[in-house]
Amino acid sequence: MKIKNSPACLICGAKESEIFFEKKYPELPGSFKFTMYRCPQCGLYYNYPQMTQNELSALYNNGYYFFHRRDQVEFRRIVALYQRSVALVENQIQPRKVLEIGSAKGYLLSVLQRLGWDVQGIEISHSAAKFSRQKLNVPTYAGTLDEFITQHPNEKYPLILAIDLLEHVIEPASFFKQVNQVIERNGIIIIDTPNGNSANITQYGSEWQGFNPFHLFIFSLESLSQLLNQYGFEIQKVFSHGNLSPTATQLMTPQQNIIRKRFKALLYETQLITLAKHLRRQLYEFQDTPNRHQYLRESILKIRTGQDYFNSSDSQGHLAKGHQGDNLVIIAQKMK
């Protein structure tokens, strides 16, 4: 269904877009309805109207799921993340200096630091940035990329990481303008973001795992390629991951999904889920403190002895052909 009065696509400028779904998430403030549009020309999915930056910041501080994971789980995740990102370009980067935008609690940068990289993180969540600095000794700027540039106008990096980030950015065009201010000429950017070409979108619709209230944009390869080209980047490599079976949540029956969502909404209404997440975060930080550096050492060992991502089962999954997995990885070089 084409909606003539929908906002123009920010990538290709198409005047008409389709409403893909409308949904009310219990995490959203007040009566805010999440409306996801799809551009029929370049395949960009985008939420409209968007929350303000203040509303988004409050949402992250109150319940962003990435910040509630245990150290052991995160360090295990970092091994595969490293293999399908930095490991693919590390021989091209000299000196070994990296900026991660949206560095969260610093797990990836802590591993890179141990591997001899000069690291810098930028994270909008002050609590996550504090964790990164105090628990993992990772230099992390608490604020936006624009604010970082203002305070560090001469900093340049040969490698920029935007992992699980671009889908959260309010103004992607402004983001790439700012990236151009911190990346060296011929520098590399690695983007890992939910894939608008995922085959699972067709199968699961609004229940696909890439759609949630934190994700403002879902890029297709076409839309992201147009954006990168516009700002002087040449794509060097493209692939998808999440090429295997769907998650347990997606395998639920429709009735089970309804029950799950109603229960989750009730928890939010009573504030129980917010309290539970706060208590869990405090418990995990305390509980894992004695083992945190052990998990870090184990990750380093696995990285040094691990396999190439492209020999992994995920890389050989049935969705890998045609880049149809749940996440899209693009490695691009700044050419002009």
Q: What is the mean pLDDT of each run of 10 residues along the chain (336 residues)?
A: 65 88 80 86 89 73 62 88 96 96 95 97 90 94 96 96 95 96 97 96 90 92 96 97 69 60 57 53 54 90 89 94 96 93
| pLDDT, position 73 | 82
Q: Which backbone phi and psi does 270 adopt, to 5 degrees?
A: -90, 0
Angle between helices 71-83 and 272-288 (to 10 degrees): 80
Cβ 196 vs Cβ 223: under 8 Å: yes
Return d(Cα 24, Cα 11) in angstroms, integer. 26
| pLDDT, position 84 | 96
Cβ 334 vs Cβ 184: under 8 Å: yes
Domains of the chain with CATH codes: 52-245+291-334 (3.40.50.150)
- Residue found by looking up tokens 């989750």 in the block: 264
Cβ 119 vs Cβ 113: under 8 Å: yes
| pLDDT, position 249 | 45
- Residue found by looking up tokens 């935008």 in the block: 101
pTM for this model (two decimals): 0.87
- Give the DSSP per-residue string, 175-242: HHHHHHHHEEEEEEEEEEEEBTT-HHHHHHGGGSTT-STT--EEB-HHHHHHHHHHTTEEEEEEEEE-
Angle between helices 292-305 and 126-136 (to 10 degrees): 80
